[in-house]
Chains A and B, each alone.
Chain A
Amino acid sequence: MSNYYNMPKLPTENSPKVEIFVDDKPVMVPGDTNLLEALKAVGIETPHVCYHPFLPVSGNCRQCLVEQEGPRGRMLVIACYTPVAPGMKIYTPASSARVKNARRATQEFMLVNHPLDCPICDKAGECTLQENYMEAGQNESRMRPEYGKNYHGNPAHQFIDAKGQLRGGKHVDLGPRVLLDEERCVQCDRCVRFMRSIAGSEQLQLAGRADHTYITTFPGEKLDHEYDLCVTDVCPVGAMTAKYFRFQKRVWLLSHTPTVSMDDSLGANIWLDHADGRIYRVMPRCNPEVNRSWLSNTSRLAFQNFGKNRLPFMGFHVIQNLVSGVKAEGGKIALAAGGTCTIEDLAALRMLKDSLGDSAELFGGTFKKVGSPDGIAMSGDPMANRAGFKLMGVPENNLADLTKRAGEFKLLLTVNLDIFGEDASQASALEKIQNRVVLSAFNDETAAHGTLSCGVRHWSEVQGTMVNSLNILQKLNACPVCPDEKIRPAYEILSELAGCMFESAADAFKHAGKYAAALSGLSYDTIKSTGKLLEGGEA
C-alpha cells in the first residue's frame, strides 16, 4: 500500500491553549494537536484501536468517533485525525446518543468474528478491545449460534473445527521471535505502520480486502528486525505475541517496576514486569524524549540473563583488609568502573578515592565498540552512564591507559566492569597487578581472572540514577528480584570501604551533589518519571 499517513502532533508543555466547546461546555485544550490528544489532556478518554501516539495516523478503526458541529449540522468525525481548531464544538457520548450508538456499533462489528478466546489469550487483561468493550460496547451478543464466528482471512490457514466453524491461523510463525494469531487480528495495521515508519523495514503487509484482510510477510520472508518485538506491544489485541512470553504468566499477576535500561547510553525507559521473584518480561515505558514507546530486542531480552550466573556476596572483610593493607604499604591502587555504574556508585567510588588519597587513581570506560544512534531506542554506546561519568568527574575512556600502566599498581578494584570479557587480549596485561578485586553482579570472565571477587546487585535491583546520552537524569528503581538478600548494591560496599557507609541510595545521591554541581539541590522526588534534563552537564 502506498498510503501516506501523517504522524500525530502531540501536545507539549508549550502548546498554545485554545478554547473549544465539549458537550457545550467551554474547555481550554492544547491547540496544536489532534482532538483525541486534546480531549485526553482535559481528562476525556476516547476509545481507539488503530491510533498510537508515536505511529502515523491511519484512522481505519473508526472507534474514536465524536460529533462535530459543522456548516451542515452535527457530523461524526474521527477524533484521531481531526485537528483542534479554536471554537470548535464537540459532542462526546456524555451528551450525544448518536456518538454512543456509533461507537457501540463499531465495537460490535469489530467483535463479529473476533474469537472469544480471552481465557487463552496472552493479551487478556491489557487488551484494547476488552477496554473498549467496557467503555463503548457492552452490547448484547447478537451472534447466531448456528452460524458462529468465522474466519475469512488467509485462505491457506483456514480449517473447519469440530463444531463446524470456519477457523484459521491460530499460530502463524512470522519470524524467530513473533507469532501471529490471524483470527484475533483486527486489521488496525499498527504493526505494518510500525515496521514501515519506525523500524524503516517494511516487512509486514496487509493482504486481501474487507473482512478477508490479513497480516502477512512477503512470500518466503520472515519478520526479523532488531525492533520486531515492538509489534507485540503496539498490537491492541493478542494477534502478535512474543514467543519468549507466550503463556508464561497472566498479565494481571505481574507487578511493574519503572526503571531505565542500562544496556545502552540512551537509557531506554522500561517497565520490569515481575512476579514470584523473577522478571517475566520487559516492556518499554513511554518517554517522548528518549525512547518514545520503543525498545530494542537486545534491551528487551537482556533480562533473561539477569538472574543467571550470579556472584554471591563473599569475602568483604578480606577486601577491606586488603585495601587498607595496600594503603598502609603505600602501594598504588587502580579503581576501575564500568558503564553500568549508577551516579550513586560513582559517588561512592569518588569517596573511596578521596579516602585513599593520592595513591588511588580512577579509571573507567569500555573496550566494546561504540556504534552510532539508530534513531529509535538505541544510542549505540554500550557504556550506559557515560554522561554520568563525565558529570561526576570519573574518567570514562582511559582503560587503555590502565592496561598500559598496569605494572605501577599494587591493587586493582573493578566495579561492574567485565574488562576480561570485553577484550581478553588487552586485559591480560592487568594480570601483572598482584591483587585484583572484582565487584560484579555476574560470575563473568573478570571475576574468574580476579584474585578476590564479591557479588553486587545488578542494575535492575538497585535504586539509583543515570545520565543518558541526551543529558537527561533518569531514575532507576529496584525491582525485588535479587536472588540473594545478602547481595548489596555496589555503592554500599564502596562507601563502606571508604569508611563511611551510605545509609540509602538517597544518601548516596545527596553525596553525589558534592562532586557534581548539577546534581546538588536535587533529590529523587524532584526527578520525574520521564527524567530531568540537566543544564550544567558537560555532555
Chain B
Amino acid sequence: MRVIRQKPMTLGERLYIFEAIRGLWTTLKHAARGLFDYDSLPTISYPEGQPEVRSTYRAKHRLMLRPDGTPRCVACGMCAAACPAHCIFIEATQSDDPRIEKRVMRFDIDHLTCVFCGLCVEACPVDALRMDTKVISFEHRTRDEFVSSLYDLTNWNPADYPEDEQSQKAPGGTLNKQALETWGMEVK
C-alpha cells in the first residue's frame, strides 16, 4: 500500500489571490483557443461533429444477407439464448426455398434493454448477426421505435462496408454477382 501525503502549501499558495488569478488565466487561455484556434481542441462538438468509430466497436446490430437478399439468420435462437438481457425475440417458420429449411419470421432486438455485450454476435453459428454498423446513438420518440425489426436490421448498404468481403456478397455489393453463381441462382 502506498500512502500519498500532501505537501504543505507554500506561502504564495496560502495567500490564495495569486493562485486564483493563475486559474482564471487557464480558463481564459482555453476560451481564446476555442474562439481563434478551434480545430486544435481535443474535444468534438457533438452532435455536429461525430466521433470516429471503429468497425470493431459494438454498435447497433445488423443482419447479414445471403446473395439473394434473404437474411442469413436460420432462427436457431442461439443469440436469444446467449443474451444476458433477454432483448432478442425470434420467431421461425418454414422456408419456401427447398435448400433452406428454417427461416426467420420475426427478429426483434430491443435496444432499450440491450447491454451491447456482443454475446449474440459470438453465439451466431452462421455469422448472421454483427454489431459493426458504427451507429452509436439511438434517438427516437417512442419506446416502440427502439425495437429494431427484421426490416430495420437487414436494411443496410454494402457500400458502407467496402472492406468487408461478406458484406459485398449481399445484393448491391461488388461480389454479389460472383456469389450468386456459387449460390446457385440464375444471374440476370
* Chain A complexes with chain B: yes
A residues near B, CB below 8 A?
A: 117-120, 124, 161-162, 170-171, 246-248, 250, 252-253
A350 to B102, CA, bound (A): 53
User: Contact mask B155-188 → A, CB, 8 Å, 1/0?
Assistant: 0000000000000000000000000001110000
Check B94–A247 contact: CB distance below 8 A: yes
| B143 CB–A CB distance under 8 Å | no
Cβ proximity bits B65-105 to A, threshold 8 Å, 1 near / 0 not:
00000000011111001000000000011100011011000
Q: In the complex, A246→B183 CA distance in Å? A: 26
B101 touches A170 (CB 8 A): yes
Cα A161 to Cα B75 with chains together (Å) = 21
When distances are taken between beta carbons in the complex, the residues of chain A under 8 Å from B75 are: 120, 247
CA of A246 to CA of B184, assembled, Å: 27
The verdict on B125 contacting chain A, using a C-beta distance below 8 Å, is: yes
Query: Of B77, B99, B102, which one neighbours A253 at CB under 8 angstroms?
Result: B77
The docked-state distance in angstroms from the alpha carbon of A119 to that of B183 is 21
Check B92–A119 contact: CB distance below 8 A. Answer: no
Q: A246-B94, A247-B92 are in contact. Are A161 and B74 (CB under 8 A)?
A: no
Does B126 sit at the interface, judged by CB under 8 A?
yes
A250 CA to B81 CA, complexed, in Å = 10
Interface residue tally on B, bucketed by range: 10 to 19
Residues of chain A within 8 A (CB-CB) of B102 are: 120, 247
**Nearest chain A residue, comparing its CB with the CB of B179:** A162
Q: Which single residue of chain A is at the shortest CB-CB distance from B74?
A: A120
Complex Cα distance, B178 from A162, in Å, reads 13
Chain B residue at smallest Cβ distance from A246: B94
Known: A119-B76, A170-B98, A247-B75. 18 other contacts (CB 8 A): A117-B101, A119-B74, A119-B78, A119-B125, A119-B126, A120-B76, A120-B101, A120-B102, A161-B99, A162-B182, A170-B101, A171-B101, A246-B94, A247-B93, A247-B94, A250-B76, A250-B77, A253-B77
Give chain B residues whose Cβ lies under 8 Å from the Cβ of A247: 75, 92-94, 102
**Chain B nearest CB, measured from A239 CB (Å):** 13
Chain B: minimal CB distance from A312 (Å)? 28
17 A-B interface contacts by CB (under 8 A): A117-B101, A118-B76, A119-B125, A120-B76, A120-B102, A124-B76, A161-B99, A162-B182, A247-B75, A247-B92, A247-B93, A247-B94, A247-B102, A248-B92, A250-B76, A252-B81, A253-B77
> By DSSP majority rule, is chain B's interface helix, strand, loop, or mixed?
loop
Which residues from chain A contact B94 at a C-beta distance below 8 Å? 246-247
B102 nearest in chain A by CB position: A120
Complex-state Cα separation, A246 to B81, whole angstroms:
19
**A247 to B125 CA separation, bound complex (whole angstroms):** 17
Q: Smallest CB-CB separation from A253: which chain B residue?
A: B77
* B99 surroundings in chain A (CB, below 8 A): 161-162
Given contacts A119-B126, A170-B101, A247-B92, are A162 and B184 in contact (CB under 8 A)? yes
3 shortest interchain CB distances as A-B pairs: A119-B76, A247-B92, A120-B102
Bound complex: CA A248 to CA B92 (Å): 7
Report how far A329 CA is from B74 CA in the complex, Å: 68
Q: Which chain B residues lie closer than 8 Å to A124 at the CB level? A: 76
Whole-angstrom distance between the alpha carbons of A247 and B93 in the complex?
6
A120-B76 Cα distance, complex, nearest whole Å: 5
Nearest Cβ on chain B to A119's Cβ, whole angstroms? 3
The residue in chain B whose Cβ has the minimal distance to the Cβ of A243 is: B94
Q: Which residues from A are CB-within-8-Å of B184? A: 162
CA distance A26 to B88 in the complex (A): 52
Residues of B within 8 A of A170 (CB): 98, 101
Contacts of A118 in B (CB 8 A): 76
Min CB gap B130→A, angstroms? 17
Residues of B within 8 A of A120 (CB): 74-76, 101-102
Distance in Å from the Cβ of B110 to the closest Cβ of chain A? 16
- 8 A Cβ contacts from B43-62 to A: none
Contacts of A161 in B (CB 8 A): 99
A385 to B182, CA, bound (A): 62
Query: B residues within 8 A CB of A252?
Result: 81
Bound CA span A251–B94, Å: 17
Please, which residues of chain B bring their CB within 8 A of the CB of A250?
76-77, 81
* Complex: A264 Cα to B102 Cα, angstroms: 36
Residues of chain A lying within 8 A (CB to CB) of residue B81 = 250, 252
**CB proximity of A66 to chain B, nearest CB, Å:** 35
For residue B58, give the distance in angstroms from its CB to the closest CB of chain A.
Answer: 22
Q: Name the CB-closest residue of A to B182.
A: A162
> B11-48 vs A: 1/0 string, CB under 8 Å?
00000000000000000000000000000000000000
Instruction: Name the residue on A nearest B94 (C-beta).
Output: A247
Query: How far, in whole Å, are A124 and B125 apart by their CA atoms in the complex?
Result: 14
Provide the bound-state CA to CA distance between A246 and B92, in Å.
9
Q: Which residues of A contact B101 (CB under 8 A)?
A: 117, 120, 170-171
Set of chain B residues within 8 Å of A117, measured between Cβ atoms: 101
Chain B residues whose CB sits within 8 angstroms of the CB of A119 once the complex forms? 74, 76, 78, 125-126
**Max chain A C-beta neighbours (<10 A), residue from B74, B98, B101, B102:** B101
Q: How far is the CA of A252 from the CA of B76 in the complex (A)?
A: 12
Within the complex, what minimum Cβ distance (angstroms) separates B78 from chain A? 6
User: B74 — which chain A residues lie within 8 A by C-beta?
Assistant: 119-120
- On chain A, the residues within 8 Å of B183 by CB distance are 162
| Complex alpha-carbon distance, A82 and B125, angstroms | 41
Q: How far is the CB of B99 from chain A (nearest CB, A)?
A: 7
Give B76's nearest chain A residue, CB to CB: A119
* Bound-complex Cα distance A71 to B126 (A): 53
> In whole angstroms, what is the CA distance A117 to B101 when docked?
10
Q: Which residue of B lies closest to A247 (CB)?
A: B92
- Min CB distance A123 to B, Å, is 13
| Docked CA distance A494–B7 (Å) | 85
- B114-130 residues at the A interface, CB under 8 angstroms: 125-126
Shortest Cβ distance from residue B48 to the other chain A in the assembled complex, whole angstroms: 44
Bound-state CA distance A247–B182 (Å) is 28
Minimal beta-carbon separation of B135 from chain A (angstroms): 27
A168 to chain B, nearest CB (A): 12
Q: How far is the CA of A248 from the CA of B125 in the complex (A)?
A: 20
Min CB gap B57→A, angstroms: 27
Give the CA-CA distance A124 to B99 in the complex, in Å. Answer: 20
Q: What 0/1 pattern do residues 120 to 150 of B give for CB contact below 8 A with A?
A: 0000011000000000000000000000000
